[in-house]
Amino acid sequence: ITALLPLYKRLKMNPLILSGVVALGAGVMNLAPWGGPTARAMTTFNADSSQLFNPVIPAMIAGIVWVLASAFWLGKKERQRLGVIELEEHIQGFTEHAAALEMKKPQLFWFNLALTILLLIALIKVWLPLPILFIVAFAIALLVNYPNPEEQQKRLLSHANNVLIVSTMIFAAGIFTGILTGTKMIDGMASAMVSIIPESLASYLPVLVAITSMPLSLVFTPDAYYFGVLPIISQTASNFGINPIEIGRAAILGQMTTGFPLSPLTASTFILVGLAGVNLGDHQRFIFKWAFGTTIVMTIVALITGAITI
């Protein structure tokens, strides 16, 4: 974004398109099993990616196609507004500092690409538990890219703060879920919810969860939704004879996936609008319909492929 923003300003393009397209792409890709929402859902349902994520892959692909089509449409409309602008000077700002470039080890690009593809295949096929696969791939990448122990330590320290925060959050969420389950609070709340849901609408619960998942990103944090709300909904679904895993699949179609780059409850949103230099409210109004459209498209495909059912 920091590299593209000068170009947008030079061409007098609407920076909301920059923040919006980034939001759409990041939202769909956040469905990946190593992303926060899907990882939380797998933890809640005690399921692996083959059970919860793999059936949603066709829907995710459809979401990517929708995002590309949306970006094309937005770009086409902006080009009609601006016309063709000839730049007299070469746009600067796309060169990187030599030290930063060296840190990325460009000479090992093909090795790192092959390792990444192999890891992705292993994650989707679940050859080993996800944590083990990440640990093994990380160890190989670290040793090959940074054989010097001092360089290794610098790389580890640069990410230490984020790791500690996420680890603490996961432990706290696990305690919260354990309290709800052990005290039977989830069962009680599920029973109350069952009593107010008409039986005629019970079979539509996965679809209702999918459709409401994206807007609920504006209200619930990922922890509150996946560790607090989702267990209640899944227990309610079980009482109606619906596979709880379908509720998890429905939830990740929008809640903090397509919805997280618009939510005021995530730091990523503020980083995005800050880098793009746009107002949060303007960003939300501009891209909400496109993000919600992504969820609708993925929900339709999920229904067609049987990832969720009616």
Predicted confidence at residue 167, as pLDDT, reads 66
Residue 95 has a pLDDT of 47
How high is the pLDDT of residue 60? 95
Least confident range of 31-40, 93-102, 126-135, 257-266 = 93-102
Residue 86 confidence (pLDDT) above 70? no
Tokens 């007098």, located at residue: 12
Residue 307 pLDDT > 60, yes or no? Answer: yes
Query: Is the four-CA dihedral 125, 128, 131, 132 of positive or negative sign?
Result: negative
Instruction: Render pLDDT for 27-74 as a digit per residue (tens, 0 to 9).
Output: 999 998 877 899 889 888 888 888 899 999 999 999 999 999 999 999
265 versus 110: the higher-pLDDT residue is 110
The pLDDT value given to residue 172: 67
| Per-residue pLDDT tens over the stretch 139-182 | 999 898 888 888 888 888 777 766 666 566 567 656 766 776 67
Mean of the per-residue pLDDT values of the chain: 82
pLDDT tens sequence across 194-245: 566 677 777 888 998 999 899 988 887 787 788 878 888 888 888 888 899 9
Tens-place pLDDT, residues 249-287: 999 999 989 998 898 878 788 888 888 888 989 999 999
Judged by average pLDDT, the poorest of 17-26, 124-133, 185-194, 228-237 is: 185-194
